[in-house]
Structure 1
Amino acid sequence: MSDNGLGEFLRARRAGVRPEDVGMASYGLRRVSGLRREEVAVLAGVNADYYTRLEQGRERNPSPQVLDTLSRALCLDPDARAHLFRLTGTAPGRELVRAPRAVGAALRRLIDGYPHTPAFVVDRSLDLLATNALTDALYAPFEPADNLARMAFLDPAARHFHTRWEWTAQAIVAALREATGFEPDNPRIPALVAELTEGSAEFGWLWKAHAVRGKTHDAKEFFHPEVGALSLTYHAFDVREAPGQQLVVYHAEPGSSSAHALTLLGSVHATRRQPEPRAGG
């Protein structure tokens, strides 16, 4: 990845804002999509040359006040605004630390205590660090089921498994982009991005958009080859004892066809895990 993450982010977000979005009149022949640099500078109340230096990477230490005005000028939502602050190392109240890989024994017991719903732990690079039995059953179509981004973009099973694949792809890329702000020195993330860019043109296009969004909660639509359609919601919880890890729990509406399908899926895979009886035993 480039060492000018701030400049790339500003350029990408500037390209996504039209003059009419911010109450500005459009004039002259526009060679670029979105706002011109001079227009962003006016909206943010900064010198145009200073803003140009920010995009070019010649100025890397804007004040929190400048970042705040740029956030408003570029219409950034809370996730994107926080990402902008992290890119400059000035995120208020957040220490930029690398998420640990090890999952605590108590947390492993917790996810195993959800026998009727998938539960798992991921880090910021979306590596699956710990999974319960029903998660293993849910992600059985993937070989291997090791990283949510690699599974979605590089495994042939993904397009059939994720019935809203385009939405899933956008959410995954936005989560990875957020991770670069939290862990700018983690070599795992650029290595993963390089692998995905080489293997998937769709990932490359989405990565260049610099969209940022953290995992919180959402609806998910799956099609599992063994039990059919699954409509689930998930909630993601920060693991306080291991910053950067998240516990993700899926949920089906009680009494729904998806709830019954999850029960069936768990039963099928539990039966498969039972050892074969010995001959003559």
Structure 2
Amino acid sequence: MTDNHLGEFLRARRSAVQPQDVGMASYGLRRVSGLRREEVAVLAGVNADYYTRLEQGRERHPSAQVLDALGHALRLDADARAHLHQLAGTAPVNQFTHTTDRVSPALRQLMDGYPGAPAFVINRTLDVLAANAMAEALHSPFERMDNLARMAFLDPAGRQFYTRWGDTTAILVGHLRQASGLDPDSPRLHELVRTLTERSTDFTRLWKTHAVHGKTQNAKHLLHPDVGALTLTYQSFDVRDAPGQQLIIYQAESGSASAQALSLLGSIHATSQRAAT
């Protein structure tokens, strides 16, 4: 990753917007995918040379008003606009950029209090910091439950476990892009991105789009080799005494086939644990 984070983001998002998306006519041969720099400048009401300097990293201190105009021109959603402000330094200063990866005993006890629901804690770079027994059972097809992005892209089980693998991986990469705006100098983030880029062309392709995803409530569609298909909803909760950590809890609709499968999975895992000890 270079240090021109703002310029790279603008360039990537510009290439994702077509003239017809913003009601502009397109004439002649276009040498770029998406909008031209001049077209973005017109849409945002800024000088074309000024916008060019932003992309090239020669201008790094745009005003919040300019960023809002660019966000509108590039059709950015709320998460992407917030990310844009983070990259430019116009978002409120986050005094909790660096956080601990230690999960408190109280939070571990809370997770264990949900024996029928997979519950785990992640940090901004999607490292799994702690998990209850049901979460471990759910993710048992993986070699190890350590980082959600690594598991999806590099573990052979990923493509079968996530039945909507393309959607899942796009969201995971979007989370990492959001993390890069909150803490662009994170050694852990740089290490993870380097590993995934070296070993996965799919990750590299998605990373270059600079798409940003925040919290979603999309259902998870999974396939577990022991119990079959699972459709689970989930809730995510910010851990107030450890900013940057999130508690994730999955659940199945009461009385559904997924609820029965989840219950069976818990029994299988408990039996195997007893046998192992």
Same-fold call, TM cutoff 0.5: yes
- Cα 1:122–1:130 change in 2 (3 A) is same
Q: CA deviation at 1:28?
A: 2.7
Determine whether 1:265 maps to 2:268: no
Name the amino acid aligned to 1:42. V
Q: CA deviation at 1:275?
A: 5.7
Residues in 2 aligned to 1:39 and 1:276: alpha-carbon distance in whole angstroms: 64
Residues in 1 aligned to 2:216 and 2:103: alpha-carbon distance in whole angstroms: 20
Tell me which residue corresponds to 1:12. Answer: 12
Tell me which residue corresponds to 2:214. Answer: 214
Determine whether 1:245 maps to 2:241: no
Residues in 2 aligned to 1:74 and 1:64: alpha-carbon distance in whole angstroms: 15
Residues in 1 aligned to 2:96 and 2:49: alpha-carbon distance in whole angstroms: 30
Tell me which residue corresponds to 1:159. Answer: 159
Matches within 5 A, 1:176-195: 176-195=176-195
SS at match of 2:218: strand
TM-score (norm 2): 0.97
Q: CA deviation at 1:236?
A: 1.3
Tell me which residue corresponds to 1:226. Answer: 226
Q: For the Cα contact (< 8 Å) 1:216–1:237, is it kept in 2? A: no
Determine whether 1:27 maps to 2:27: yes
Aligned-residue CA RMSD (Å): 1.3
Name the amino acid aligned to 1:125. T
Q: CA deviation at 1:93?
A: 6.3
Q: For the Cα contact (< 8 Å) 2:86–2:181, is it kept in 1? A: yes
Residues in 2 aligned to 1:204 and 1:168: alpha-carbon distance in whole angstroms: 15
Q: For the Cα contact (< 8 Å) 1:96–1:182, is it kept in 2? A: no
SS at match of 2:79: helix
Identical aligned residues as a percent: 65
TM-score (norm 1): 0.95
Determine whether 1:92 maps to 2:92: yes
Residues in 2 aligned to 1:104 and 1:88: alpha-carbon distance in whole angstroms: 34
- Segments of structure 2 that go 5 or more residues without pairing to the other structure are none
Q: For the Cα contact (< 8 Å) 1:99–1:124, is it kept in 2? A: no
Residues in 2 aligned to 1:81 and 1:272: alpha-carbon distance in whole angstroms: 47
Tell me which residue corresponds to 2:60. Answer: 60
Q: For the Cα contact (< 8 Å) 1:163–1:222, is it kept in 2? A: yes
- Segments of structure 1 that go 5 or more residues without pairing to the other structure are none
Q: For the Cα contact (< 8 Å) 2:118–2:249, is it kept in 1? A: yes
Q: CA deviation at 1:225?
A: 0.9
Name the amino acid aligned to 1:100. T
Q: CA deviation at 1:94?
A: 4.2
Aligned length: 277
